[in-house]
Amino acid sequence: MTSLTPAQIRVIVATDCGSTTTKAILIQYLDGQYRQTHRGEAPTTVEEPVADVTVGVVNALTELGELAGRRLIDDAGQIIRPATADAGCDIYISTSSAGGGLQMMVCGVVREMTGASAKRAALGAGAIVMEVLAANDRRRPHEQIQRIRELRPDMILISGGTDGGNLNQVVQIAELVAPAKPQPRFGGGYKMPVIFAGNRDAAPLVQQVFDDSVDLAIVDNLRPVLERENLGPARDKIHDLFLDHVMAHAPGYDKLIAWTDAPIMPTPGAVGNILETIARRQKINVVGVDIGGATTDAFSVFDGKFNRTVSANLGMSYSISNVCAEATLPSILRWVHFDMNERALRNRVKNKMVRPTTIPQTEEALVFEQAVAREALRLAYVQHREFATALKGVQQQRSVGDAFRQTAGGQCLIDNMRLDLLVASGGVLSHAPRMQQTAAMLIDAFEPEGVTTLAKDSIFMMPHLGVLAEVHPQAALEVFEKDCLVYLGTCIAAKGRGKPGRECFQYAVHTETGTITGAISCGEMRVVPLLPDARARLDLHPARGFDLGAGPGKPLECEVRGGTVGLIFDGRGRPLELPADHAACQALTSRWVAALDLYGGRATAAPAAS
C-alpha cells in the first residue's frame, strides 16, 4: 500500500482483468489536471495453459509502457514504484471480472423486503445474484435445499428479520443452507464463505446451526428496521471475502492482490462506484448501462439512491437467442426499416449464439444487431425499474385528502423525466460505426423524457475509475469528465401523445453564433448539430398536453451541452409506441433513420442481399 498523499500522486496505472482481455490505462497529472494518456491491452491469462493472471497484467502494462514511453515493469517483472520522471507509477489499482465474476446466492425472510435488500447489497458489491431464497418464494423446503445443492455460488449472504424481529424463520433459512452443504464454484480448496447480515438476536443461533465446514462471518443487519437499509457493512464484507476467498483461489490472484495499492474490486462494483460518485458530486440523476455478450448490467442513481441490476440472460452474443425468445422476433423487427426473411434471421441468431465472436459484416446484419440491442436494453431497463424501488413494508402517512390517490408502497425510484445523464457502454453501443446509432439505440430503448444528456464510455474506462475513486476521487472525476465520457449530445423528448403531424413543441437554440428556431411535429425526429464542447441555451414551448419537464404545456428554459451527434429533438411522444401494422411501422422507422442519418446514404433503400 502506498503512503503517498493524494496530492503527491502524479502517475496512476489501472488495469481491468476481464474474462478475455486485460485492459490497462495510464493516468498522468499534466498541466494542473489529471488526464488519461495511454492505454494498452493483452489477453487475460487466467485459464490454462498459463493460469496466472499477472502474466496478462504484465503484458498489458508492457504494451502500455511502450506506447507511453515510460517503463512500468522492471526486469524482475515487478511494477516500478514510485514514479520517476520517465519510469514507474505512483499507484497501481485493478478490478477483475475474470472467471465469470462474483456469483452469489442470497437469502431473506420476505422476498420483497430483506430478500430484496440482500440482493441489493450483493448486486451493489458487483456480484451476480444466482438465486434469491426466501421463506415466501412458494417453494417447499426440500425444493429450496435441492436448489442450493445445484448451485455452486462463490458466496452466500443470509439476511432476514429486523433487529429484535423475526427469529424463527431466520434460523430456519440457516437450517436449510447448512445441510445442503453448498460447494464453492472453484472446487474444494476453501470453505464456503457465508455472511450473516440479519436480525442480530438470531446471530448466535445461526452460528450454532453452521458447523466449521463453512466460513461464517457475522455483520450488522442490512435491514435493522424496515424503514432503513444499512447495506454498507454487508457490501464491505462481500468485498473482503471476495478478495480473501474467491480471488485468492483464482490463479495468480494472490500475487495481484499484493501488487495493488487498493483492494481489487469486481468490475461491475467499480462501475457502480464511479457512477454513484459522479451523481453525488454533481447532484444529478444518472442511469448507466453496460451491455455485454452474456449479460447486461444496469445502474441508476436517483436522488442519491444507488441501484444495480444484472440481467443474466440478456446479451448480444451468448445470450442473443434468449433476447429473441424473450422479446419475440416481431418486437425486434419493428426497429428494422426494411424487409427481412424471418426464417433466415432465426437461423442467423442461433448461429451467432453458437459462434459468439463474429461481427456483422453487412449493413443489413448491423441494422438487425442494433435492433436486437434495443430490445435487450429495453428488457434490461424494465427489469431494472422493477427492482429499483423504494423500500417495501414501510408505514405510509396519510391525510383525508389522499382518499382517492392512495399510492402503494415500494414505488419505482426511476423517473425518466428527472434523468439527467444516460451513459452507455458495451460493445454494441460503444463500437457502433456511427455515433448516431448509439444515440438512437439509447433513446429507443430507454425512452428518456424531457432533457437528457447522452454519453458513452469511450474505451470502457469506468471500472478503472471506480477503483480510483476510492483512492483519489479528484483524479477519478477529472478523468471521467474529460477522457472517459464521449458526449453524444442531448435528447429533448416530449412526454405525451398526439396525432402524427400535430405540433409537439417549438424550440429556440441560442448559441454564441446565433439562434436557430423550429417546431417539431408529433412523430418527428430532428437533429440540430452542436459541437461536443459547445453549450447552448434552449427555449422550449411544448404544445398543450406535452411535457418537457416543466409540466404539461409549460415552457422550459435550460442549458444543454452538445456532442458528437448534437441536439436530438424527439417528437414521437412517450410512452413510445410503434404502429402494429408492419408496413406503417417500416415507413415510420425509415423516416427516423433518415432524420438521424443512421446508416449513411443508403438509409431508406433496402440494402442488397449480400
Query: Nearest-5° angle of CA 97, CA 101, CA 102?
Result: 135
Site for another protein in 154-183 (CB under 8 A): 160-162, 164-169, 171-172, 175-176, 179-180
Can you state the angle between helices 435-446 and 582-596, rounded to 10 degrees?
Answer: 130
Kindly tell me which of 240 and 597 has the beta carbon lying closer to another protein.
597
Q: Return the number of the residue (4 or 340) whose C-beta is nearest another protein.
A: 340
Considering only residues 340 through 379, tell me which ones interact with another protein, judged by CB under 8 A. Answer: 343-344, 346-363, 365-366
Closer residue to another protein in complex, CB, 346/482 = 346
Angle, in degrees to the nearest 10, between helices 116-124 and 363-387: 130
> What's the rounded Cα separation, in Å, for the pair 91 and 72?
11
Mask for 441-460, x = binds another protein (CB under 8 A): --------------------
Reading across the β-sheet that carries 11-17, which strands appear in turn? 33-43, 21-30, 11-17, 91-96, 265-266
Residue 5 lies near another protein (rule: CB under 8 A): no
Spell out the residues 6+ positions from residue 275 whose beta carbon is closer than 8 angstroms to its own: 286, 288, 299, 301, 306, 423, 462
Q: Is 403 near another protein (CB under 8 A)?
A: yes
Question: Which residue's entry shows cell 511502450?
Answer: 66
- Rounded to a whole number of angstroms, the CA Rg of the chain reads 25
Which of 196, 198, 230, 178 has the alpha carbon at shortest distance from 110?
198
Q: How many CB atoms lie within 10 A of CB 348?
A: 18
CB-nearer residue toward another protein: 357 or 513: 357
> 80 or 133: whose CB is closer to another protein?
133
Among 9, 121, 125, 145, binds another protein (CB under 8 A): 145
Closer Cβ to another protein, 110 or 265, answer by number:
110
- Applying CB under 8 A, among 33, 146, 207, 517 the residue interacting with another protein is 146
Ranges within 8-67 binding another protein (CB under 8 A): 19, 43, 47, 49
Compute the C-alpha angle 210/214/216, nearest 5°. Answer: 75
Among 77, 232, 409, 551, binds another protein (CB under 8 A): 409
Q: Is 400 an interacting residue with respect to another protein (CB under 8 A)?
A: yes
Shortest distance, CB of residue 249 to another protein, whole angstroms? 16
Q: Which amino acid is at 6?
A: P
Residue closer to another protein by CB (options 336, 522) is 336
Residue 122 Cβ, how far from another protein at the closest point, in Å? 18
| 239-298 residues near another protein, rule: CB under 8 A | 294
Nearer to another protein, 165 or 184 (CB): 165
Phi and psi torsions of 447, nearest 5°: 50, 55
> According to CB under 8 A, which residues from 572 to 601 bind another protein?
599-600
Contact (Cβ atoms closer than 8 angstroms) between residue 68 and residue 38: yes
Nearer to another protein, 435 or 467 (CB): 435
What residues between 516 and 535 interact with another protein by CB under 8 A? Answer: none
- Pick the piece of the chain touching another protein (CB under 8 A) from 78-86, 280-288, 316-324, 450-458: 316-324
Number of residues forming the site for another protein (CB under 8 A): 95
Of 27, 109, 270, 419, the one binding another protein by CB under 8 A: 109
3-state secondary structure of 344: helix
Burial 47-58 (b: 16+ CB within 10 A, else e): eeebebbbbbbb
Q: Does 100 bind another protein (CB under 8 A)?
A: yes
Residue with cell 433513446: 443
Yes or no: say if 122 and 106 are a contact pair by the CB < 8 Å rule. yes
Q: Is residue 189 at the binding interface for another protein, with CB under 8 A as the rule?
A: no
Q: Which is nearer to another protein, 94 or 169 (CB)?
A: 169
At closest approach, how far in Å is the CB of 30 from another protein?
28
Number of alpha helices (DSSP H) and beta strands (DSSP E) in the chain = 17, 22
Enumerate residues 376-395 that contact another protein by CB under 8 A: 392-395
